[in-house]
A and B are shown apart, each in its own frame.
Chain A
Amino acid sequence: MQYISPTTVDEAVHALSSATGACRILAGGTDLLVQMRAGMKRPDTLLDIKRIDALHQITAEDGGWRIGAAVSGAEMGEHAALVSDWPGVVEAVNLIGSTQIQGRATMAGNLCNASPAADSVPALVAANAVARVVGPHGQRDVAVLDIPSGPGKTTLEPGEFVASTYLPARGARSADAYLRFIPRTEMDIAVVGAAVSLTLDADGICTAARVALGAVAPKVLLVEAAARALIGSRLDAPALDALAEACSAAAKPIADKRGTVEFRTQVAGVLARRATLIAQTRAGGPA
């Protein structure tokens, strides 16, 4: 096995496409090193992208934010302007693991690990975020929704990796929120996750919304029926009931050591409702 730590994206792309055997990207390493220790992954090459300065940046771009693939959760949490624009995305990233994990874990790593329960992914999908994928054939932008394809699997081609994630411009009276359910107060994997991003008009009527769920299907779910339940409403009780119902209906979870089908289905609606109310308050609340 070898360890390489290129200092530019081009070098990394070159190294990745020319590596023989299995090559894994090492960003925060909080999933990969655990999987290697458990013998689940045995890469021939580890490509550490943390020495690439460009991937450490949080950059304002077209009113939105571009977040490099090597930016840790802690760094995102300390970026006041980013937190102000996308509190739901940042809180989702900051829920991943302990303080110690926050010092290492990256949002791009969370995305590419492709766990159905990844905390940041529903928030990114609700935010309509776009991943910038680089590879031997150049770069392409892909909706975050389309990166994971199933548990542990992504749509990335051989030789490709996610270099950054773009959060679009945040409009006025818009906000997002993410909630997850875990049995303890910290240190667990989401049993259910729900993210809501919405925009209110001056009267408090919801004009746009995206609702995404985690841990209730093989990959993140964008629940358009749930968004439709909110749009045009004042986020009053009937709208929230409809939202919760749509989320529970969309959820197609499995039963496993972390939760039952019934529990996940039920709580998906509960969390979506609560996240909506938080996003509403953040967006300026009812008129």
Chain B
Amino acid sequence: MSAIHVTTTINNDATEFLCAPDETLLDVLRDRLGLTGSKEGCGSGDCGACSVMLDGRLVCACLVLGAEAEGRTVATIEGMAVGETLHPLQRKFLEHAALQCGICTPGFLIAAKALLERHPDPTEEEARYWLAGNLCRCTGYDKIIRAVLDAAAEMREAG
């Protein structure tokens, strides 16, 4: 099994790596590139803790092969804040205490960002269904949903 050389863009950085043919993008991010913000909760696409954007689409990095990243763009939680400035979603998660243990938080933030890019004014129900693939066991989702809707409102006002 020989390694595959992949050239890709991660969080706007040109990146190269070698990976095994059956190695997932999640393993590459975490084990080869040190981007451990994406978490593995299940490895089967059922928990959303490894959510990343692949060419602008929300995906589970555990269900993408590293080799598939060739020539594509990947965005992870590590690229969400700009310098010292948190994304409004990140800020609202803090303000609303939308995390307890925090393990699901990166995945929720990536998924919520994808939601607000497509639906800047989601209803509570739309937000709940969009985020149904992200499991949280601590919060009961209440404060997460409030944070997402509040961030959406702030982002709409900011235009």
Do A and B touch (CB < 8 Å)?
Answer: yes
Give me the interface of A with B, judged by CB distance under 8 Å. Answer: 1-3, 5, 26, 28-30, 33-34, 36-38, 46, 48, 50, 72, 74, 97-101, 103-104, 185-187
Q: Which of these, B1, B2, B4, B111, contacts A100 with CB under 8 Å? A: B111
Q: Which of these, B43, B57, B63, B132, contacts A186 with CB under 8 Å? A: B132
**A36 to B21, alpha carbons, bound, how many Å?**
12
Check A103–B132 contact: CB distance below 8 A. no
Check A101–B57 contact: CB distance below 8 A. no
For A3, A26, A28, A185, which residue has the most chain B Cβ atoms within 10 angstroms?
A: A3
| Nearest chain B CB to A156 CB, angstrom units | 23
**Interface residues as binary, B125-140 with A (CB distance below 8 Å gives 1, 0 otherwise):** 0000111111000000
Given contacts A1-B1, A46-B65, contact A186 B133 (CB under 8 A): yes
Residues of B1-31 contacting chain A, CB below 8 A: 1-2, 4, 20-22, 24
| Nearest chain A CB to B63 CB, angstrom units | 5
Given contacts A46-B65, A104-B59, A104-B64, contact A3 B48 (CB under 8 A): no
Check A33–B65 contact: CB distance below 8 A. yes
The answer to the question of B45 belonging to the interface, with a C-beta cut-off of 8 Å to chain A, is: yes
| Nearest chain A CB to B35 CB, angstrom units | 18
The residues of A that contact B2 with a CB separation of less than 8 Å are 2
Closest residue on chain A to residue B130 by CB atoms:
A99
**A99 to B58, alpha carbons, bound, how many Å?**
7
Q: Which of these, B43, B111, B133, contacts A37 with CB under 8 Å? A: B43
Check A99–B111 contact: CB distance below 8 A. yes
**A46 to B130, alpha carbons, bound, how many Å?**
30
Q: Which of these, A26, A34, A36, A97, contacts B133 with CB under 8 Å? A: A97
Check B59–A100 contact: CB distance below 8 A. yes
The answer to the question of B46 belonging to the interface, with a C-beta cut-off of 8 Å to chain A, is: yes
Interface size class of B (residues with CB under 8 A): 20 to 34
Check A37–B44 contact: CB distance below 8 A. yes
The residues of A that contact B46 with a CB separation of less than 8 Å are 187
| Nearest chain B CB to A96 CB, angstrom units | 11
**A97-B45, A97-B133, A101-B60 known; 9 other A-B pairs, CB under 8 Å?**
A1-B20, A2-B21, A36-B22, A48-B65, A99-B58, A100-B63, A104-B59, A186-B129, A187-B133
The residues of A that contact B44 with a CB separation of less than 8 Å are 34, 37-38
The residues of B that contact A50 with a CB separation of less than 8 Å are 68
The answer to the question of B89 belonging to the interface, with a C-beta cut-off of 8 Å to chain A, is: no
Q: Write 28 A-B pairs (CB below 8 A) sorted by A numbering.
A: A1-B1, A1-B20, A2-B2, A3-B65, A5-B68, A28-B63, A30-B63, A34-B63, A37-B44, A48-B68, A50-B68, A98-B45, A98-B48, A99-B58, A99-B115, A99-B132, A100-B48, A100-B51, A100-B133, A101-B45, A101-B60, A101-B133, A103-B57, A103-B59, A104-B59, A186-B129, A187-B46, A187-B133
Given contacts A1-B21, A103-B58, contact A185 B64 (CB under 8 A): no
**A72 to B59, alpha carbons, bound, how many Å?**
11
**A48 to B68, alpha carbons, bound, how many Å?**
8
Residues of B99-156 contacting chain A, CB below 8 A: 111, 114-115, 129-134
**A185 to B126, alpha carbons, bound, how many Å?**
13
The residues of A that contact B57 with a CB separation of less than 8 Å are 72, 74, 103-104
The residues of A that contact B51 with a CB separation of less than 8 Å are 100
| Nearest chain B CB to A50 CB, angstrom units | 7
The residues of B that contact A1 with a CB separation of less than 8 Å are 1, 20-22
The residues of B that contact A72 with a CB separation of less than 8 Å are 57
Closest residue on chain A to residue B2 by CB atoms:
A2
